[in-house]
Structure 1
Amino acid sequence: MNRQLRLHPRQVEAFRGIMLTGSITLAAQMMNVTQPAVSRLIRDFEIAVDLRLFDRDGRRLVARAEAIRLYREVERFYLGLDHIGAIADDIRGSRGLRLRIAAMPALAASCLPEILSRLMGAQPDVSVVFDVESTDHICDMITNHHYDLGFVFGSPRHAGLPAQPLATTHAVVAMRRDHPLAALSGITPRDLVAYRLLLPGRKTPVRQSFDTILAQAGLSPATLMETSMANCCGFAARGDGIAISDPVTVAERGELVSRPLTPEIEISYVAIRPPQARACCWPTRSLTRRKPGLG
C-alpha cells in the first residue's frame, strides 16, 4: 500500500548538500544553518522516505546505494526547477539581469563569497544564483547553458567552452597532524604507497597525472579510495588515509597538514563560460609558495 510522503524542501536540500560535498560541515555552510540542523534534517528525511540512506560511523556519513539512486532523481528535480526559473526570469527580463554562477566546493567556501558580495554591492540591480557543484557537473551545465559562469579545476573537458585561467598551484599530500608522513618536509610516491591513498576520480587531471607518476616509478598503492577532493580531505581528517588534493580544499580542514608532492602536479583554477560566449580576461595568479587561497 502506497503512503504519501511528507517531505520538507529543506530536508531535500540537506540531502543534496551532503551528496554534493560529502560533508555535513560544508552542507551546513551551503544552507547557512548549523551542523546539528543538517543532521536533524537528514534524520527526518530518512524517516519520511522510509529508507536508510547513510551508514553512520561516529560523526561520519557514508552514502549507501539507496542514497546514490535517490540523488539522481533529486538532481533531475533541481534541474527542472532551474529551467522553470530561467524561463520566468526571461519573461521578467525588464526587472534586471540574472547571473547564474556555479563553483566547485573548494572555491565556493573560500574566495567566491567575498567576490560575489562585491559584485552585488557594485551592481544592486543584478540577481545572482550561486550553486556549489562538482567540476564535471558544472561543465555539463555550462555546455547546456544552465549557468552563465563556472569556476572549476583544470581546463574544461568539453570542447568549445571559453575558458580563462585564474590561478595555478600544485597538488599536495594531506594528512592528520599525527600521521607518520607529517614529519617529512616533502613526500614522494614511494613514501605514499604503503598507506591507504584517498584519490580524486580517474577522469580528473590530478588523478591522471598522479597515476602517470606511479606508473613511471613502477609503483602501485596498497589500498585506495576514489572520491571527490572534498571527500578525500574529509576522510583524511578522520584518519582513514592520506589524500592527494589541492591546497585550497586542504585549507578548509584545520585538522589537516599538507606537504609538497614530488614530482609536482600542477593544478589550475579556471573560469568557464557557455559555448559561443566571449571569455573574460582576468590575470592569472600563481598560488605556489603562498598561503592557499585566491584572494
Structure 2
Amino acid sequence: MTRPLNFQQIQAFKAVMESGTTTRAAQVLNTTQPSISRRLSELRQATGLELFDLHNGRLRPTREGQQLYRSVRKHFEGLEHIETAARVLRKSGSGVLRIGSTPTLAAGLLPQVIAAFMQQHPKTYINLQTHGTPQLKEYLSQGLLDFVLTTGHLEHGDVITNSLLKSRAVCLLSRNHALAKSRSIKADQLRAQRLILLDENDDIMIAMRGKFPFQPGHENVAVETNSSLTICALVAAGVGVGVVNPFVANTFADQLAVLRLDPPIPIEVTLMRSAALAPSMLASRFEEMLMSQTWLDRVGGSK
C-alpha cells in the first residue's frame, strides 16, 4: 500500500541520483548516511517501487528510478525558477518594473524618464522589452509586462489604454540639404525628394496616404523599411529624406535637420496595461512621471 511522499524523501532520492552514493548525498544535504538510507527506504515503501538495486557494492537506479528522477528533476527546475525570481526581487530591493515599448519610443522617449525614475528609486530593477505593438499586446495579456508604450493602435477589451501625449510626425533631412533651414516642408516639396519611408502598413504611412499622394512603388521612394531608427541612419548617411515620429528623431537631432510636415500627420503615444491586474506601486509611479507635463514638454508633445 502506497503512502504520501514528503519533501525530505524526494530530496534524498535526487541527491543520490546526482551524486551516485548515499555517502556523497549525505555530504550534499549536510546530513548522515544512515539518514539518507532511511529516507530512501521510506520512499520505496511510499511509492511501492524498487528504485535502486545493489550492483558490485554500489546503488544502481532501476528503470522506474530513472523515470521517477525525470519527474523529480522537472519539479526542482520549477523551484529553481521560483528561486531565480526571488533573487531578482532581492536584487531590485524595491521591486521589479517590466516595461514593453516599441523600439522608437524606447530610444527616443524612455531613456531620460528611466534615468530620472532610477534616481528616485535606485534599487528598482527594470526589464525593458522592445517589440512591435501586436507582440507587446501578447506579452501584456500573458502577464509578462506591467505596461506597454506604443504609437500603434490596437483595440482589445482586456487592456486599458491611456493616451499619454499627442504630437506630429516630422521630416528628416541631412544638414546640407537645400531645405534644411526651412521650418516646415509641404506636400509638393516632399514629393520632389528622394524618399525613405516606412512600410505601407505603418500607422504613419496610413495617415500620410490621406494627405500625401504616396503609394508603394512611387518613383521617388528609394527605400521602404519597418524601422524608424533605420530611416534616421539612412538620412544621416545621405541616402534621402525620411518621415518618422518625433521621438526617434530626437535621438538624431544633432546630426539631422528636423522639419514639420504641412499638412501635419498626427502621432499619439498610448500606454496600455492589463484590465485584469491592478498596477504595481512602481508601475503607477512610473506612469505618473510619464504623464507629468515636464516630460511632455521635453519631447515636444501637446495634449
TM score, norm. by length of structure 2:
0.57
Q: Which structure has the bigger radius of gyration?
A: 2
The gaps in structure 1 that reach 5 residues or longer are 1-82
For the residue of structure 2 that corresponds to 1:146, the secondary structure is: coil
1:165 aligns with 2:163: yes
Which AA in structure 1 matches 2:269? Answer: Y
The structure 1 residue matched to 2:204, chosen from 186, 206, 210, is: 206
Residue identity in the other structure for 2:128: F
How much identity, in percent, do the aligned residues show?
22
Q: Which whole-Å deviations, capped at 9, do the CAs of 1:181-209 have from their partners, x for residues lacking one? A: 32433212211122232222323221110
Hey, what does 1:247 align to over in structure 2? Answer: 246
* Distance of 1:151 and 1:182 partners within structure 2: 31
Does residue 1:177 correspond to 2:181, yes or no? Answer: no
Native 8 Å contact 2:175 2:257 kept in 1: yes
- CA separation of 1:258/1:113 partners in 2, compared to 1, >3 Å: closer, same or farther? closer
Query: Cα offset for 1:238?
Result: 0.8
- Aligned 1:105-144 pairs, distance under 5 A: 105-123=103-121, 126-144=124-142
Task: Tell me the distance in 2 between the aligned counterparts of 1:152 and 1:212.
Answer: 22
Q: In structure 1, what residue type is equivalent to 2:110?
A: L
Residue identity matched to 1:259 = L
Moved over 6 A (4+): 83-86, 91-94
The Cα shift of 1:214 comes to: 2.4
TM-fit CA distance, 1:146: 2.4
- Deviation, structure 1 residue 118: 4.2
* Cα displacement (A) at 1:161: 2.3
Deviation at 1:293, TM superposition (A): 5.5
Mapped to 2, the partners of 1:149 and 1:157 lie a distance apart of 15
Contact 2:171–2:244 at 8 Å: present in 1 too? yes
What secondary structure is seen at the aligned counterpart in 1 of 2:173? strand
Counterpart Cα distance in 1 of 2:261 and 2:119: 40
Amino acid paired to 2:185:
I
Q: Tell me: CA distance 1:251–1:118, structure 2 relative to 1, closer, same or farther (3 Å).
A: closer
Distance, in Å, in 2 between the alignment partners of 1:157 and 1:203 is 16
Match of 2:230 in 1: 231
For residue 230 of structure 1, give the secondary structure of its aligned residue in structure 2.
Answer: helix
Counterpart of 1:214 in 2: which secondary structure? Answer: coil
Superposed CA deviations along residues 6-62 of structure 1, whole A, max 9, x for unmatched, are xxxxxxxxxxxxxxxxxxxxxxxxxxxxxxxxxxxxxxxxxxxxxxxxxxxxxxxxx
Of the structure 1 ranges 103-112 and 227-236, higher mean CA displacement relative to structure 2 is found in: 103-112
The answer (yes or no) to whether the contact 1:110–1:293 under 8 Å persists in 2 is: no
Q: Secondary structure at the match of 2:212?
A: helix
Change in CA separation of 1:284 and 1:115 when aligned onto 2, cut-off 3 Å: closer
Q: Which amino acid aligns with 1:241?
A: G
Tell me how far apart the structure 1 counterparts of residues 156 and 233 of structure 2 sit (CA, whole Å).
29
**Is contact 1:169-1:287 (8 Å) kept?**
no
Alignment of 1:87-106 (within 5 A): 95=90, 97-106=95-104
Question: Per-residue deviation at 1:98?
Answer: 2.7
Residue 258 (structure 2) pairs with residue 270 (structure 1):
no
